[in-house]
Amino acid sequence: MQVFNTFFKIAKKQLPVTLMYIGIFVGLCIMMGNTARTDKDYYNFKACDLVVIDRDNSEMSAMLMKYLAGIHEVDTESDYRDEQIQDYLYYQKIDYVLYIEQDYAKTGTLTNVKRPDSKVGEYIDNQILVYESNMRALTHAGYSLEEAYALTLMASSADGLVTLMDKEDTWPPIYNALSFAPYVLIMVMFYVLAPVLAAFNHKEISKRLNVSPITSRSKNVQIVFGQIIMSIFIWIVFLAFIYLYYGIENVDGKLPFILLNSMAMIIIAASMAGIAGNLRLKGDILNIIANIIGLAMCFLGGVFVQVKFMGSTMLQVARFMPTYWYIRANEKIFSGDNTNEILLCIGVELLFALVFFMVSTVVSKQMRAASKS
Amino acid sequence: MAETVVKIENLVKRYKETLALDHFNMEIKEGEVFGLLGPNGSGKTTTMNCILSLLTYDKGTVEVFGKKMTPDNLEAKKNIGVVMQNVAVYDELTVYENIDYFCGLYIRDKELRKKYVGEALDFVELNEFKKFYPKKLSGGLLRRLNIACGIAHKPKLIFFDEPTVAVDPQSRNKILEGILELNKNGATIIYTSHYMEEVEQICTRIAIMDKGKNIALGTKDELKKMIKNTETISIESINVSEEDKKNLGALEHVYEVNSDGEKLIIKCNGGKHNLIRVLNYINEKNIPCGRVYSELPTLNDVFLEITGKELRDKEA
């Protein structure tokens, strides 16, 4: 078991990288947890700090102040000096100063002080403009001041509702965590497994192993055994995190499929890492390849960009990514789709794994044959 | 009579159109330090790889410890140690872990292995570096680690494939001394190199290879006796006339006189007082000259005389 033991000795040296990727995964899960909301709308009106100085003291000026007070924090009592107003605006203690000039009821004259190029200032300007237009239109149309005010208030309360597409879904946060699994599993397997295999496949070291009294078969069995144990270990660590962080209360009968789907993904990741390892990729080249493959598969396969946002051409490409089938299976598991459809997706994933495994074996044999001929 | 450890008969190895080994024959006896000497590309490493079953070959037989050598001949492999031309260690393991790993491929018993690894560390004087990773070692130390990994399990037959390439003179001497010590402790050594000085220094028997053929075989004295040249006299900063060259060439035992206008080279075959005769002639003729020295033939002379070319590139 010397080869097997050394397999893990070398793998242990990759622990910092593994922890880094587990950290990224945990970070993503926490981020997704924090951004998940239960309310439907994402956009709220922001209350600003206004100072209103009423120099008209008319019924109309009182209505304007009442309207603004319904939206913002309005201070009508303070008697600020001009320098004070400048200071408070500068230090953002107040956002806007509105002067309702004398004869406002007749001329509609308003003046203001705000920070230059302030978006908040424009926002309040716009609200006042809309209020003024509505009030004038309605009073000209024959409504009394009270009626016009009531109608203006009603019109301004009609908010534009913005709803994000996935808010329609009611999937639990564990769904998001499982959606990110391909990225983490692919990267971890590339960084842990590939360097170990590359070390064993090193041309000169292979020669040393081949002249030792260990048969090729025994050596290969020990390496494959090491790969399997390591893959299972990483899979268990991943599942343990999911269990500890999210629990399994919300998944009920979905658990066997979640296990099956994530297992298929780890086999895919291990097979791909096997190819890289057999090609003896190490160091910077491995970094580049791992990032290209990991990110490309995740972007194109619907891990980072949801499948429903993809164009038809993108979707055609996505079908050739094992990650796409993983994500589809995950969606089907959580939307309670037909078992056969879930198994079909997992089956396609396993086919990908088989192809990668075969490529890995062919690469390994070719490399060995090249050094033997 | 010592037992035959390695026997190669009629070995042929082709790399596509290139004939790497051309009906090669060789027999190595127990306790020998056998040198495979030849220029780069002469087939030394190919021979070694064929003996070790690392390469398939087209024709011939290879026997190790009296049995046909195949990848499955584990009994023979148990008693073989290999020090590769290129350093073959795991960058991810420390010096100790590397030696322990490679020793562990042969020695299962943990206690015995610990003892062997300790002895190997002492042997290559890497004890103080045992916790270092290979990347932290200098070229010379790395070579020593490479040797330790190949010999820790105390093999009876050890292959050294150019172990001193790119090594400083101090480390080179240590490596050569180590090889002789291993031999003294009972190991049979097969040493490949294109450094004739090293082969002359440590090998009891030498095979000179060129173009995949064994062109000469014997002890260094036997090899040197194969050629005409027994002494080369060199005289620097001398300008001789054609008549002088003719007269020098006519001296007893002198068979070749060459001059490039700066240096005069006189080759002799046999005789005891060749240098005195040459110096007497120069003195009589009152020819001014610089440094004068006489050299015994080297393996390079053997190679040069047999193949008509230098054993090693001039810059090597």
Q: Is B37 inside a domain boundary?
A: yes
Average pLDDT score over residue span A68-94: 83
The label of the residue with tokens 């260690």 reads B89
Q: In which domain, by residue range, is B14 found?
A: 4-225
Condensed to tens digits (0 to 9), the pLDDT of residues B230-242 reads: 889 999 988 888 8
Domain assignment of residue B69, yes or no: yes
CATH code 3.40.190 region(s) in chain A: 49-157
Written as one letter, the residue type at A270 is A
Could you tell me what percentage of chain B is helix, strand and coil, using 3-state DSSP and rounding each to the nearest 5? 35, 25, 35
Residues of chain B with pLDDT under 70: 1, 309-316
Q: Cβ of B163: how many Cβ atoms within 10 Å?
A: 25
B92 vs A contacts (CB less than 8 Å): 9-10, 13, 195, 199
The mean per-residue pLDDT over the stretch A215-229 comes to: 89
CB contact under 8 A, A213 and B105: yes
The yes-or-no verdict on residue A322 having pLDDT over 50 is: yes
Cα A28 to Cα A94: distance, rounded to the nearest angstrom: 37
Mean pLDDT of all residues in A228-243: 88
pLDDT of residue B22: 92
Q: Chain B interface, mutation test: which of A1, A204, A208, A217, most B Cβ atoms within 10 Å?
A: A208
Same-domain pairing of B194 and B239: no
Residues B213 and B264 in one domain: no
B93 plus B216 within the same structural domain: yes
Task: Check whether residue B164 and residue B286 sit in a common domain.
Answer: no
Are residues B205 and B88 part of one domain? yes
Tell me the shortest Cα–Cα distance from A212 to chain B, in angstroms: 6
Between chain A and chain B, how many beta carbons pairs sit less than 8 Å apart?
A: 72
Report yes or no on B108 lying in a domain.
yes
**ipTM computed for the complex:** 0.80
How many domains does chain B contain in total?
2
Residues B260 and B252: their CA atoms lie apart, in Å, by 23
Residues B248 and B144 reside in one and the same domain = no
**Do B87 and B28 belong to one domain?**
yes
pLDDT higher at A310 or B123: B123
* B15 within domain boundaries: yes
- CB < 8 Å to B90, chain A: 6, 10, 199, 202, 205
Strand spans (E) along chain B: 4-15, 18-29, 33-37, 59-64, 67-68, 80-83, 157-161, 188-193, 205-210, 213-218, 231-236, 254-259, 263-268, 292-295
Most B CBs within 10 Å, among A212, A215, A220, to test the B interface:
A212
pLDDT at A373 over 70: no
CATH number where B102 lies: 3.40.50.300
Confidence class of residue A45 from pLDDT cuts 50, 70 and 90?
low
Does A158 score more than 70 pLDDT? Answer: no
A114: left (phi over 0), alpha (psi -120 to 50) or beta: beta
Cα B109 → chain centroid: 35
A311, two tokens: 């164009």
Confidence of residue A244 (pLDDT cuts 50, 70, 90): confident
Per-residue pLDDT reduced to its tens digit, B78-111: 999 999 888 989 988 999 999 999 999 999 899 9
- Clarify whether residues B195 and B275 are in a common domain: no
CB < 8 Å to A216, chain B: 71
d(CA B158, CA B171): 19
**pLDDT tens across A83-102, in order?**
888 888 888 888 888 888 88
Q: What is the CATH number of the domain that holds B262?
A: 3.30.70.980
**CA distances in angstroms from B138 to B132, B134, B170, B179, B249, listed in the order given:** 11, 8, 13, 20, 52
If asked whether residues B128 and B274 sit together in one domain, one would say no
What residues of chain A have any CB closer than 8 angstroms to a CB in chain B? Answer: 2-3, 6, 9-10, 13, 195, 199, 202-205, 207-216, 371-373
DSSP A56: S
Chain A residues in contact with B77 (beta carbon < 8 A): 211-213
> Yes or no: is domain A49-157 CATH 3.40.190?
yes
H or E element that contains A295:
helix A283-300
